[in-house]
Chain A
């Protein structure tokens, strides 16, 4: 390997990137746009759930329940319905996510038998939102229940018994406000690196084939290893710049806590970039059409990063075979490291396993990539 030839190759590739300002601009603006989109657009913790109410009784008690549904800020009563058909229509047209139905003889049943039902109907096409809304409504009804208990006890001159009562004292670590932004944003660094790295490198060799400049490249004295390193170096720099942009936006704009140490993050980011770039290069060498290369690159980088890495969907909830599969899904290790460093303040001591996993992948992929390219035309 000759450093001069390697630098010449890197210089050629840099010039090529510089002369295509649109792609470069996109590679650098992408992290900002993605961060903005994911930071603001991706929120799982829905507040102010649009709720409809069908109050068949319309008594003092039932009106009280309706106003306590609206009071906490978790639910927002948008519409009062007046018939079963109205409920059906509101749910069909998705005007509200939940409809609370208070039956006709609610107060009377409660007074005579001591217990009564309230019905909550959910538009369960969105399962996660349904689960969250269910929790909110259950919370409100539990409060109503406590009030009714207290009123009953007062009316019968009995003290409110705490017999068998548990006072729940929950505390949340690492993400005290349970803000889904703090959960999503660290993972975005992985998504953006996968996106930009795969996007740019997967086309780098296949383009030379498609445009016919490969013959020129082969007739020069550079070796296969120099081609690889020369082609990947500029993209590695772009990847690290992108990661730095993401980091700054996350910490300074979105106020995501950063509790760990920067050196570990830098090392992990470099390893992950190497894996992504190596994969992009490997595909680029094997697949000579740019369209094919870009599609395969997306499939092997973006798909695992967004779906199987734990970035949005928790790995421990996946079925066992898929969970086993995620062990070879390299973004999984990076996402674990990112969350650990950002939210938990973990260091090398806690994160050595994922770091090792990522390191093994980096060595393996770069080794494969270095062997893949031969200076032959057929």
Chain B
């Protein structure tokens, strides 16, 4: 058995070596996507373009605007002179928010009647708008308390002690709220899955499409040896890919890796077994590579979207949340992020690893059974 298996493995590695596209498609997309995610994927809200319409034109209104600019969250790109210019700036995407200070702003502040401040948010990007609204609230609150302190006569300030509740925020595991620390560990898992599933499926379907599968079937190789011979190379390549992308993330993007590499290895192994199983299963549905390509997307895209990679699982409706429970990527992302950022070990992650092991076992069993019957057909 080992002799036949190693012959099959040698054939596969030779084929991989000669097929420069397989190597290319394994390495290059991973590196490019890694760079793209590292540099382009961000949900943070800095320097939001703003247009200002200041109809009061005095110390208070200018102080308010400088509070906005000083926060670093908003950049004033235009001083509008009337409502029409505000409208035009927002319509043409020149500015995302408009700050409109009506005349009488300072007067209302001074006589304590509450000064209205109009803010318009261009909500096409709902996420930016939601976060920007939060910042606006904080900036205006700070401005209000500064103004209150300035406007109160000194003796009244003494009589009215500073009272209030302050919220101290402590973001654990990622104190600087770096987007990269969230996305890069995620990229490791999702790219590996994409590559391993599609390469495994393509390798088998191509033999079927160009007719060399029959040649292999008439050789003394048994189906299980064929399956092992087809999957072991991609398992190893996947492992290599995980190491490569992790190293880029740690060395180039400075994402901390504070956990135990052994936990990562255990998680990667189980995840790759599940991925190879999915690839094998997909190959049984396709006669041509075009079909394999289409099926790939049919399966991979849901796995990707419903993994928590970018979109929080807690925000999904219940039915989709249940579906994430059978998604190996969901568990692998938990393992990667926990090992990278939280540094937790087997004691915390065993339920996740067990779930992945179960998914891998089911996937491999089903795919091997289906594959064997598809060979007979």
Contacts and interface: CB of A to CB of B under 8 A. Distances in A.
A149 B164 CA distance: 7
B301 A127 contact: no
Contacts of B29: 295, 298-299, 303
A139 B134 CA distance: 8
User: Across chains A and B, which 3 residue pairs bring their CB atoms closest together, nearest first?
Assistant: A292-B21, A164-B147, A135-B134
Given A116-B165, A170-B121, A163 B127 contact: no
Interface string A155-176: 0001001111111111111111
Interface string A328-351: 000000001001000110100010
Given A26-B295, A171-B120, A125 B337 contact: yes
Interface stretch (A7-15, A87-95, A225-233): A87-95
A162 B21 contact: no
B298 interface: yes
A44 B282 CA distance: 31
Contacts of B161: 114
A279 B42 CA distance: 28
A110 B123 contact: no
Contacts of B20: 292
A158 B152 CA distance: 14
Contacts of B305: 37-38, 41-42
Contact of A131 (B36, B40, B43, B337): B43
Interface in A8-56: 20, 22-23, 26-27, 30, 33-34, 37-38, 40-50
A145 interface: yes
Interface residues of A, number: 115
Contacts of A26: 291, 294-295, 297-298
Given A92-B342, A116-B165, A289-B21, A303 B33 contact: yes
Interface string B33-50: 100110111111111110
Interface string B176-202: 011101100000000000000011001
Contact of A124 (B131, B171, B288, B301): B171
Nearest to B75: A316
A169 B40 contact: no
Nearest to B343: A92
A247 B198 CA distance: 30
B155 interface: no
Interface in B221-273: none
Contact of A173 (B120, B286, B344): B120
A245 interface: no
A20 B49 contact: no
Interface string B144-162: 1111111110000000111
A378 interface: no
A127 B179 contact: yes
Contact of B163 (A148, A168, A173, A350): A148
Contact of B289 (A44, A165, A176, A294): A294
A104 interface: no
Contacts of A164: 109, 112, 144-152
29 contacts: A22-B286, A33-B302, A37-B305, A49-B314, A110-B163, A125-B341, A127-B44, A127-B182, A128-B182, A130-B174, A130-B177, A131-B43, A132-B131, A132-B134, A152-B163, A163-B151, A164-B146, A164-B147, A165-B112, A166-B140, A168-B119, A171-B121, A173-B120, A291-B202, A303-B33, A307-B33, A316-B47, A317-B44, A318-B42
A166 B45 contact: no
B170 A122 contact: yes
Contacts of A142: 137, 141
A166 B32 contact: no
Nearest to B310: A312
A254 interface: no
Contacts of A137: 167, 169
Interface stretch (A179-187, A269-277, A366-374): A179-187
A289 B19 contact: yes
A46 to B, nearest CB: 4
B70 interface: no
A295 B130 contact: no
A163 B167 contact: no
Interface string B286-318: 101111011101100110011010111011110
A263 to B, nearest CB: 20
B126 interface: yes
Contact of B137 (A40, A121, A168, A296): A168
B56 to A, nearest CB: 12
Given A42-B305, A171-B118, A165 B314 contact: no
B72 interface: no
A167 B116 contact: yes
A162 B179 CA distance: 39
Contacts of B117: 166-169
Interface in B309-360: 310-312, 314-317, 320, 334, 337-338, 341-342, 344, 348
A190 interface: no
Nearest to A191: B301
A286 B22 CA distance: 16
A23 B294 contact: yes
B376 interface: no
Contacts of B143: 166
Contacts of A166: 64, 109, 114-117, 140, 143-144, 147
Contacts of A110: 163, 165
